[in-house]
Structure 1
């Protein structure tokens, strides 16, 4: 017990008194713990993945990647003029994201996958839950909470994707053109997270918005881990 906690009348700080980035950092730490238990990522870390595993991962990710720019665009359309800067940021982000699935498709074909089969794929149960939740969130008036989803998803690209790509290359002997989707996102998502952090620390985020952002981040972190766990489970 700290000295502060022994002082008579001490009360822990309310959530809104803790910085938003600190609260999101706690969500991220929990997310990393969940990711460490995902079977395919555990196999990757242990050097036991196969090319078929990598194909399965890309196949399952593609269905959610396609939806990403769509729910961001929907969120943009639901910001009013009082949230003009957030609307502009969402529009720009959707534009940058809407071709990402093409990078993934090229990687999938480069490791022997069928483009026709990939495009005919269905969302696994985690992807269904994630997309359903995000379209619901994005359809709300002024869906500021969606910034929490971006924190998780963009953070994944910026902090994890390149390392995963390198591990797949080391274990499977893959060429750069077979992991381009992941390596591309290290740089692109690092830029996105920088812009996102600027928004999260701006005066545009009040206490109510901060609570919505943290809540959305927490839900998305769990659903994303489910998506990676429930590969091919539809």
Structure 2
């Protein structure tokens, strides 16, 4: 458990001349270490997680997921015509994700949660920080650095969501319709990650933008982990 202090994201240890891919891989490695220290994920790995834990996780994630499509849409509106490809990609992404929270709500109700209470919920401390950062960044002119945020958020779905779903099912005996949100994001986020990788390797991201992408990835990794650490606060 952390001491509650939000520390500066550590600079990844990378060699001189590292590619953007190498730098993001180092950020991801740091993120994995943060996730390993999150109490609910530690209990999930140990097999001591409870149904109440799962309900709390869905409750807290929903408040942040609702904001996903709106900040992506804001980012799309912040790109000028010289960044048309990024604007178009953001518009497509926002359209694909704007109903995601409904899947999460169905899962929450399927494990005994109250839809009314879920919709009346508020963001936890980490979610407030994450959402505030994302909307602020998305409002900047040509927010190319948000590719780093997508690297973390979409990467989490593509790399971890299915394993979490399977483990929750194994420990708690949950049915497929109770973990649909996580199961769905394994495939959906893998597709989004592929689209993002194509952009990162397309030449649209110059050296200065690469620094922004890496920095945004660092910050979002820390804030996403904080969101999972601060359930119920």
Q: One fold, TM greater than 0.5?
A: yes
Kindly indicate whether residue 126 of structure 2 is the aligned counterpart of residue 118 of structure 1: no
Kindly indicate whether residue 138 of structure 2 is the aligned counterpart of residue 138 of structure 1: yes
Render the CA deviation track for 1:25-52: whole Å, top value 9, x for unaligned.
0000000000000000000000001110
Equivalent residue, structure 1, for 2:230? 230
The equivalences for 1:34-183 within 5 A come to 34-183=34-183
TM-score with structure 2 length normalisation? Answer: 0.93
Q: Which has the larger radius of gyration?
A: 1
Aligned-residue RMSD, C-alpha: 0.9
Could you list the structure 1 runs, at least 4 aligned residues long, displaced by more than 6 angstroms after superposition. Answer: none
TM-score with structure 1 length normalisation? Answer: 0.93
SS in 1 for 2:67: helix
Render the CA deviation track for 1:95-154: whole Å, top value 9, x for unaligned.
001000000000000000000000000000000000000000000000001110000000
- After TM superposition, give the deviation of residue 202 of structure 1 in Å: 1.1
Render the CA deviation track for 1:135-193: whole Å, top value 9, x for unaligned.
00000000001110000000000000000000000000000000000000000000000
In structure 1, distance between residues paired with 2:32 and 2:170: 22
- After TM superposition, give the deviation of residue 13 of structure 1 in Å: 5.9
Equivalent residue, structure 2, for 1:29? 29
In structure 2, distance between residues paired with 1:126 and 1:187: 26
Unmatched runs of 5 consecutive residues or more in structure 1: 1-11
Unmatched runs of 5 consecutive residues or more in structure 2: 1-13
